[in-house]
Amino acid sequence: MTTIVVALEVCRSGFPAEIAIDALIIHVKFSTHVVAVFVCYVCRDIFWFTGPEKRFAFRRLQAFFAQGRNIFPTTQTMQPLPAILPTEGRHVIHLLFRVEHGQWDLLDKSSRISAKTALAELVREIRSTPDTQLLIFSMVTPKADLGFMLITPDLHLADSFSKRLAVALGPDILSPAFSWLSMTERSEYTTSDEEYALSLEKEEQLTAGTPAFEEKMDAFRKRMTKYLKDRLEPNLPDWPVVCLYPMSKRRVPGQNWYALDFEARKKLMAGHARVGRTYSGRILQLITGSTGLDDDEWFVTLFSKTTSDIKAIVYEMRFDEVSAQYADFGEFFIGLQLPLDALYSRLGL
């Protein structure tokens, strides 16, 4: 903590902010304390940067850390943490931010280029990480400006990447507008081999063990294997329109989803799924579970090529009994997937 102590002592001595920054940089250059890497994020509070000359001094400190961050032996002294992995599936974090243009405007041209380069490099790092995806959105309407969807197995990695994304453009440039933690999961209502075999015997009058029966069963198993992989380890499309919202099942007298027996719930969900399948090729849906992880029980991410299909499926689903009787929805967000350079332009960065 000696680095912060030096900063506080210089500040209390009444030196101008620029001299205080010089003293801090000199001390940090010879400091081996890991805490030093965090000073650039707390020094605004230490020095009460309010005037233009103090903001300039702060940017000098930012530049110093951007150029000399590797002098600190953090990677040599920190032991890797054991991965926190789910039994199956992956962790999913949705992050929505507002861009603080007032703070951005305080940066000079060189600092802005450095900030955008830093975010671009972080995006490349995340996307090159095994079993990890990062989607980036320009959020429509002033609810938020910028959105990230991060999918990766290890919770430590998800947490680390999400925190680095929040400050990649610099301190106070992005302010949180919304976030959600969930996990990819299998549905408990999928059709089993036994149920499908029974339907072949009853509905198609096929006899078990015959070539026609076995051909149907083999095709079913292949479909279910792909379906399960797509749910647990999704490979999400680059379709431009994205709709995000949380939801839960109701637990009120007369409309308590969890008071229904399993067979009743499964029958209702089968009808719900039939509606969804009519939008195949137009809507890709990823439902992730957040029970015990966030405020509602699921998070829904819809991908489409047009807002018309988003609006249509959400509207039609409202008349399905599962939604009409038992579903509660949270706030809806619409985003647009854009390349990073186009996103910078859209956001005015």
Q: Which amino acid is at 265?
A: R
Question: How is 140-192 classified by DSSP, letter by letter?
Answer: ESTT-SEEEEEEES-HHHHHHHHHHHHHTT-TTTEEEEEEEEEEE---TTPPP
What's the whole-number mean pLDDT along residues 285-300? 96
Which homologous superfamily does the CATH classification assign to the domain defined by 90-182+236-349?
Answer: Apc35880; domain 1 (3.30.70.1030)
Predicted confidence (pLDDT) per residue in 37-69, tens digit: 344 444 444 444 444 444 555 555 555 555 544
Q: What is the pLDDT of residues 230-275, one digit of tens each?
A: 899 999 999 999 999 999 999 999 899 999 999 999 989 888 888 8
Match 């059709």 to its residue by tokens: 191
Q: Name every residue whose Cβ is closer than 8 Å to that of residue 347 and which is 6 or more positions away in sequence.
A: 99, 138, 145, 146
Q: Catalytic residue among 196, 245, 326, 344, which?
A: 245
pTM: 0.77
The yes-or-no answer on residue 245 being catalytic is yes
Q: Return the domain boundaries, the chain.
A: 2-76, 90-182+236-349, 185-234
Contact status, residue 320 vs residue 271, Cβ threshold 8 Å: yes
Tokens 């801090």 belong to 24
Instruction: Give the residue with greater pLDDT, 114 vs 31.
Output: 114
